Structure 1
Amino acid sequence: MDSVFLQGDTIEAILDDSPKKKHLYEIPIIKAEDFKVSSDTLLTISIGDNKVRKMISEKISAKFHTVIHPKAILSEYSSIGEGTVVMAGAIVNPDSVVGKHCIINTGAVIDHDCNIGDYAHISPNASLAGDVKVGEGTHVGIGASVIQGVTIGKWAVIGAGSVVLKDVEDYAVVVGNPGRIIKYTEK
């Protein structure tokens, strides 16, 4: 939320399917079904689950707002997709491309020439060396490290603290140092 406020934007409402509160920071929380989306509505989907974020973005016809915390460092030669959120302390270096509706979390490092697919989540303090490819919907866990030139397939999960030294297949779950596949997620 502070990313939005510090960027100078305002929040009209927070949508939640099961609101437990009526307000957060004096912003009304309403059921998603009670919110009327118009063609000029500007939305940010701040749900951590990559599949749910994708489902919502495909279901709603609206403009999606990209949120970049003012203390994030983005190269002017990088590209950030619509609806993506870049948190404080994150670094995106030159010639990197971040897809739409991604989360680049606090302190994450995306080095030069990386390509992050739509709906991916790069967790706090995860580090991607140069020329890393991350597929659609993949989650790179907190503190994970990926060496240069590695390709991680779509909808994969890289466990917290894992060290990825070689390419990862679609839907693989990788843990450990060095990272190894322990199972596959459902397609």
Structure 2
Amino acid sequence: MPQRSDWSDQPCPIARGINVVGDPWTLLILREALSGARRFDEFKRRVGASDNILAARLAAMVADGLLVQRPYSQGDRPRQEYVPTGAAADALPILHAYAAWSHAHRPSSTEEPVFTVSCRTCGHSTDRVEFCDNCGAALEVGNVVWARPGRWQGRAVNLSAGGPPGVDQGRA
């Protein structure tokens, strides 16, 4: 996927990060990968991207170390699933920060109920990005539940501590 600009060699870490997670489709795909989507058709249904956009973003996310490809069928037409890496799990605070910023500065008049982030340790919702504001527990992939509005309401980031099943723990 060609970038509008290549900031991969910039001294600023924000600029370098934009090269990897700055694309809106990438953030939506990352959201779904952390929520359990693994297959092309799942991502397509959940994010609504066209085939060519989705294929390009998935390939870029594999190249950038956010996802790894694993075969899930054999035969005449082998298929691949996309599994989030440790680098993808480490991006969870970015998604939380986007959600918090959007609630504060771009509220939706139709969103009932709202997107919430809850801590599995204490069960309370939190407005913090990395730690629960009620009990102080780390908001990591294995300790977070997302309550999402609309058709995805209640879908959780339900990944086990120490690495979710099927998640590649390598760091990109």
Please tell me the TM-score bracket, short chain as reference.
Answer: under 0.3
Q: TM-score, normalising length from structure 1?
A: 0.26
Query: As a proportion of its length, which structure holds more strand?
Result: 1
Q: TM-score, normalising length from structure 2?
A: 0.27
Structure with higher RCO (Cα < 8 A, 6+ apart)? 2
